[in-house]
Structure 1
Amino acid sequence: MTILLLNGPNLNLLGTRQKEVYGGTTLAEIEEMTREHAQSHGFELNSLQSNHEGVLLDAIHDAKQSARGIILNAGAFTHTSVALMDAISSVELPVVEVHLSNIHAREPFRHKSYIAPVALGQIAGFGSQGYLLAVDALVQHLSGMS
Protein backbone atom coordinates (compact mmCIF):
# COMPACT_ATOMS: atom_id res chain seq x y z
CA MET A 1 0.00 0.00 0.00
CA THR A 2 1.65 3.16 -1.26
CA ILE A 3 0.95 6.87 -0.90
CA LEU A 4 2.47 9.31 -3.38
CA LEU A 5 3.74 12.60 -1.94
CA LEU A 6 4.02 15.28 -4.64
CA ASN A 7 5.56 18.71 -4.11
CA GLY A 8 5.49 21.41 -6.75
CA PRO A 9 7.53 24.44 -7.73
CA ASN A 10 10.00 26.08 -5.37
CA LEU A 11 9.40 23.58 -2.58
CA ASN A 12 12.91 22.26 -3.18
CA LEU A 13 14.03 25.56 -1.59
CA LEU A 14 12.32 24.90 1.74
CA GLY A 15 14.52 25.63 4.71
CA THR A 16 16.15 28.56 2.95
CA ARG A 17 13.17 30.24 1.25
CA GLN A 18 11.08 32.83 3.12
CA LYS A 19 11.38 31.11 6.49
CA GLU A 20 8.87 33.56 7.98
CA VAL A 21 6.23 32.11 5.62
CA TYR A 22 7.31 28.50 5.07
CA GLY A 23 9.38 27.70 8.17
CA GLY A 24 12.88 26.33 8.45
CA THR A 25 12.20 22.65 7.75
CA THR A 26 13.75 21.36 4.53
CA LEU A 27 11.87 19.32 1.96
CA ALA A 28 14.10 16.32 2.72
CA GLU A 29 13.13 16.58 6.39
CA ILE A 30 9.44 16.84 5.49
CA GLU A 31 9.69 13.82 3.20
CA GLU A 32 11.43 11.76 5.88
CA MET A 33 9.00 12.60 8.68
CA THR A 34 6.04 12.01 6.35
CA ARG A 35 7.52 8.67 5.22
CA GLU A 36 7.99 7.56 8.85
CA HIS A 37 4.45 8.62 9.73
CA ALA A 38 2.99 6.75 6.75
CA GLN A 39 5.01 3.65 7.68
CA SER A 40 3.61 3.80 11.20
CA HIS A 41 0.20 3.34 9.56
CA GLY A 42 1.39 0.48 7.34
CA PHE A 43 1.86 2.51 4.16
CA GLU A 44 4.90 3.07 1.99
CA LEU A 45 5.52 6.62 0.81
CA ASN A 46 7.06 7.59 -2.51
CA SER A 47 7.94 11.25 -2.92
CA LEU A 48 8.66 13.51 -5.86
CA GLN A 49 9.28 17.24 -6.18
CA SER A 50 9.32 19.06 -9.49
CA ASN A 51 9.31 22.62 -10.71
CA HIS A 52 7.74 21.38 -13.96
CA GLU A 53 4.01 20.96 -14.32
CA GLY A 54 4.29 18.13 -16.87
CA VAL A 55 6.42 16.03 -14.51
CA LEU A 56 3.74 16.40 -11.82
CA LEU A 57 1.04 15.47 -14.34
CA ASP A 58 2.95 12.34 -15.38
CA ALA A 59 3.40 11.37 -11.72
CA ILE A 60 -0.33 11.72 -11.08
CA HIS A 61 -1.11 9.59 -14.14
CA ASP A 62 1.42 6.93 -13.08
CA ALA A 63 -0.02 6.89 -9.55
CA LYS A 64 -3.19 5.28 -10.86
CA GLN A 65 -1.16 2.05 -11.20
CA SER A 66 1.18 2.42 -8.23
CA ALA A 67 -0.52 4.27 -5.36
CA ARG A 68 -3.67 4.20 -3.25
CA GLY A 69 -3.74 7.98 -2.79
CA ILE A 70 -1.84 11.23 -3.20
CA ILE A 71 -0.73 14.02 -0.90
CA LEU A 72 -0.16 17.10 -3.04
CA ASN A 73 1.42 20.46 -2.32
CA ALA A 74 1.18 21.94 -5.79
CA GLY A 75 2.78 25.22 -4.72
CA ALA A 76 1.91 28.06 -7.07
CA PHE A 77 0.33 25.59 -9.53
CA THR A 78 -2.51 25.35 -6.99
CA HIS A 79 -3.77 28.70 -8.20
CA THR A 80 -3.18 28.26 -11.93
CA SER A 81 -3.31 24.65 -13.09
CA VAL A 82 -6.48 23.34 -14.62
CA ALA A 83 -4.26 20.56 -15.99
CA LEU A 84 -3.45 19.28 -12.48
CA MET A 85 -7.13 19.47 -11.55
CA ASP A 86 -8.06 17.45 -14.65
CA ALA A 87 -5.33 14.87 -13.99
CA ILE A 88 -6.58 14.33 -10.45
CA SER A 89 -10.13 13.91 -11.72
CA SER A 90 -8.96 11.49 -14.39
CA VAL A 91 -7.07 9.07 -12.15
CA GLU A 92 -9.85 8.89 -9.56
CA LEU A 93 -7.47 8.55 -6.61
CA PRO A 94 -8.11 10.29 -3.30
CA VAL A 95 -5.97 13.43 -2.97
CA VAL A 96 -5.27 15.56 0.09
CA GLU A 97 -4.11 19.08 -0.73
CA VAL A 98 -1.46 20.52 1.62
CA HIS A 99 -0.01 24.00 2.07
CA LEU A 100 2.58 25.03 4.65
CA SER A 101 1.14 28.53 4.93
CA ASN A 102 -2.49 29.52 5.30
CA ILE A 103 -3.20 30.43 1.68
CA HIS A 104 -6.51 32.02 2.71
CA ALA A 105 -4.71 34.57 4.91
CA ARG A 106 -2.31 35.61 2.15
CA GLU A 107 -2.64 37.53 -1.11
CA PRO A 108 -6.09 37.31 -2.73
CA PHE A 109 -4.80 35.39 -5.77
CA ARG A 110 -3.75 32.56 -3.43
CA HIS A 111 -7.32 32.10 -2.13
CA LYS A 112 -8.40 30.24 -5.29
CA SER A 113 -7.36 26.58 -5.51
CA TYR A 114 -7.95 24.55 -8.64
CA ILE A 115 -7.06 21.46 -6.62
CA ALA A 116 -9.63 21.86 -3.83
CA PRO A 117 -12.72 20.95 -5.92
CA VAL A 118 -11.24 17.55 -6.78
CA ALA A 119 -9.49 16.82 -3.46
CA LEU A 120 -10.79 15.04 -0.37
CA GLY A 121 -9.84 18.14 1.56
CA GLN A 122 -7.30 20.86 2.11
CA ILE A 123 -4.86 21.31 5.00
CA ALA A 124 -3.29 24.75 5.15
CA GLY A 125 -1.39 26.83 7.66
CA PHE A 126 0.07 24.17 9.96
CA GLY A 127 3.59 24.17 8.50
CA SER A 128 5.28 20.81 8.08
CA GLN A 129 2.79 19.27 10.53
CA GLY A 130 0.22 19.58 7.73
CA TYR A 131 1.87 16.70 5.88
CA LEU A 132 1.37 14.41 8.87
CA LEU A 133 -2.25 15.52 9.14
CA ALA A 134 -2.62 14.72 5.44
CA VAL A 135 -1.31 11.18 6.02
CA ASP A 136 -3.82 10.73 8.83
CA ALA A 137 -6.69 11.99 6.68
CA LEU A 138 -5.75 9.85 3.71
CA VAL A 139 -5.21 6.71 5.79
CA GLN A 140 -8.56 7.25 7.50
CA HIS A 141 -10.26 7.66 4.13
CA LEU A 142 -8.56 4.59 2.67
CA SER A 143 -9.53 2.58 5.73
CA GLY A 144 -13.16 3.46 5.13
CA MET A 145 -13.43 5.35 8.40
CA SER A 146 -14.16 8.77 6.92
Structure 2
Amino acid sequence: MHRELITFEVAGQIFALDIMAIREIRAWTPVTPMPRVPHYVAGVVNLRGTVLPVIDLAARLGWTPTEATPRHAIIVCQVNGQSQGLIVDSVSDIVALHSETLQAPPSAGQDGVIPFLEGLVAIDEHMVMVLDLQTLGTSGDALAAA
Protein backbone atom coordinates (compact mmCIF):
# COMPACT_ATOMS: atom_id res chain seq x y z
CA MET A 1 0.00 0.00 0.00
CA HIS A 2 1.25 3.47 -0.91
CA ARG A 3 1.46 6.17 1.81
CA GLU A 4 2.45 9.80 1.88
CA LEU A 5 4.20 11.30 4.88
CA ILE A 6 5.29 14.77 5.86
CA THR A 7 8.78 14.85 7.33
CA PHE A 8 9.88 17.37 9.94
CA GLU A 9 12.61 17.95 12.47
CA VAL A 10 12.43 18.05 16.26
CA ALA A 11 15.56 18.35 18.42
CA GLY A 12 17.82 17.36 15.54
CA GLN A 13 15.87 14.17 14.74
CA ILE A 14 13.75 13.51 11.65
CA PHE A 15 10.15 12.45 12.17
CA ALA A 16 7.18 11.90 9.90
CA LEU A 17 3.39 11.91 10.13
CA ASP A 18 0.82 10.48 7.77
CA ILE A 19 -0.30 13.30 5.50
CA MET A 20 -3.96 12.32 5.97
CA ALA A 21 -3.82 13.35 9.66
CA ILE A 22 -2.44 16.81 8.89
CA ARG A 23 -4.88 19.68 8.39
CA GLU A 24 -2.38 22.50 7.86
CA ILE A 25 1.10 23.75 8.62
CA ARG A 26 1.23 27.18 10.25
CA ALA A 27 4.02 29.62 10.85
CA TRP A 28 4.93 30.05 14.49
CA THR A 29 2.34 31.94 16.52
CA PRO A 30 2.96 32.71 20.21
CA VAL A 31 0.79 30.54 22.47
CA THR A 32 -1.23 31.54 25.49
CA PRO A 33 -0.07 29.39 28.43
CA MET A 34 -2.77 27.57 30.40
CA PRO A 35 -2.68 26.67 34.09
CA ARG A 36 -2.75 23.08 35.34
CA VAL A 37 -1.92 21.36 32.08
CA PRO A 38 0.74 18.71 31.47
CA HIS A 39 4.28 20.07 31.08
CA TYR A 40 4.30 19.34 27.34
CA VAL A 41 1.21 21.46 26.59
CA ALA A 42 2.73 24.76 25.50
CA GLY A 43 -0.65 26.51 25.54
CA VAL A 44 -3.39 27.43 23.10
CA VAL A 45 -3.71 29.59 19.97
CA ASN A 46 -6.67 31.02 18.11
CA LEU A 47 -7.19 29.09 14.88
CA ARG A 48 -9.83 31.04 12.94
CA GLY A 49 -12.03 31.42 16.00
CA THR A 50 -11.32 27.97 17.46
CA VAL A 51 -9.13 27.33 20.49
CA LEU A 52 -6.32 25.01 19.40
CA PRO A 53 -4.21 23.23 22.04
CA VAL A 54 -0.52 23.27 21.11
CA ILE A 55 1.83 20.47 22.17
CA ASP A 56 5.58 20.94 22.50
CA LEU A 57 6.55 17.73 20.72
CA ALA A 58 10.12 17.77 22.04
CA ALA A 59 8.85 17.99 25.64
CA ARG A 60 6.24 15.29 24.97
CA LEU A 61 8.97 12.94 23.76
CA GLY A 62 10.96 13.53 26.95
CA TRP A 63 13.52 15.95 25.55
CA THR A 64 14.36 19.53 26.50
CA PRO A 65 11.35 21.80 25.93
CA THR A 66 11.41 23.93 22.79
CA GLU A 67 12.28 27.59 23.10
CA ALA A 68 10.14 28.57 20.15
CA THR A 69 11.18 31.29 17.73
CA PRO A 70 9.62 32.59 14.50
CA ARG A 71 11.63 29.86 12.69
CA HIS A 72 9.50 27.12 14.29
CA ALA A 73 6.24 25.80 12.84
CA ILE A 74 2.99 24.36 14.15
CA ILE A 75 1.63 21.26 12.44
CA VAL A 76 -2.14 21.13 12.93
CA CYS A 77 -3.28 17.50 13.16
CA GLN A 78 -6.60 15.74 13.54
CA VAL A 79 -6.58 13.10 16.31
CA ASN A 80 -9.72 11.24 17.32
CA GLY A 81 -11.86 13.95 15.70
CA GLN A 82 -10.07 16.75 17.59
CA SER A 83 -7.55 19.26 16.27
CA GLN A 84 -4.26 19.93 18.01
CA GLY A 85 -1.02 21.64 17.09
CA LEU A 86 2.49 20.22 17.36
CA ILE A 87 5.48 22.54 17.70
CA VAL A 88 8.29 21.40 15.39
CA ASP A 89 11.65 22.93 14.53
CA SER A 90 11.07 22.80 10.77
CA VAL A 91 8.99 21.01 8.15
CA SER A 92 11.01 19.29 5.46
CA ASP A 93 9.23 17.41 2.71
CA ILE A 94 6.41 15.18 1.52
CA VAL A 95 7.62 11.64 0.86
CA ALA A 96 5.89 8.62 -0.62
CA LEU A 97 6.62 5.09 0.52
CA HIS A 98 5.20 1.61 0.44
CA SER A 99 3.79 0.48 3.78
CA GLU A 100 5.90 -2.67 3.72
CA THR A 101 9.09 -0.55 3.94
CA LEU A 102 7.99 0.67 7.37
CA GLN A 103 9.82 -1.36 10.02
CA ALA A 104 8.61 -1.95 13.57
CA PRO A 105 10.34 0.15 16.24
CA PRO A 106 12.89 -1.63 18.41
CA SER A 107 11.42 -3.44 21.39
CA ALA A 108 14.33 -2.55 23.66
CA GLY A 109 13.08 -0.13 26.28
CA GLN A 110 9.70 1.48 26.41
CA ASP A 111 10.88 4.90 27.53
CA GLY A 112 11.22 8.08 25.51
CA VAL A 113 10.20 8.02 21.86
CA ILE A 114 9.68 4.26 21.32
CA PRO A 115 6.07 4.03 22.60
CA PHE A 116 5.01 6.85 20.26
CA LEU A 117 6.38 5.31 17.08
CA GLU A 118 4.42 3.56 14.40
CA GLY A 119 7.71 2.51 12.85
CA LEU A 120 10.99 3.48 11.25
CA VAL A 121 11.83 3.94 7.60
CA ALA A 122 15.06 4.74 5.78
CA ILE A 123 14.60 7.69 3.44
CA ASP A 124 17.67 8.65 1.43
CA GLU A 125 20.49 8.47 4.00
CA HIS A 126 18.32 9.22 7.04
CA MET A 127 16.42 7.05 9.49
CA VAL A 128 12.97 8.62 9.87
CA MET A 129 10.77 7.95 12.89
CA VAL A 130 7.10 7.74 11.92
CA LEU A 131 4.92 8.93 14.80
CA ASP A 132 1.63 7.28 15.70
CA LEU A 133 -0.72 10.10 16.70
CA GLN A 134 -3.11 7.66 18.40
CA THR A 135 -0.48 6.51 20.90
CA LEU A 136 1.17 9.89 21.26
CA GLY A 137 -1.36 10.23 24.04
CA THR A 138 -1.79 13.94 23.62
CA SER A 139 -5.42 14.09 22.63
CA GLY A 140 -7.11 13.77 26.02
CA ASP A 141 -4.60 15.78 28.05
CA ALA A 142 -4.12 18.46 25.45
CA LEU A 143 -7.80 18.95 24.86
CA ALA A 144 -8.26 19.59 28.54
CA ALA A 145 -6.21 22.73 27.89
CA ALA A 146 -8.78 23.93 25.40
Normalised to the residue count of structure 1, the TM-score between the two structures is 0.28
Give the number of the structure whose alpha-carbon radius of gyration is greater: 2
Instruction: Name the structure where strand makes up a greater proportion of residues.
Output: 2
Instruction: Name the structure where helix makes up a greater proportion of residues.
Output: 1
Normalised to the residue count of structure 2, the TM-score between the two structures is 0.28
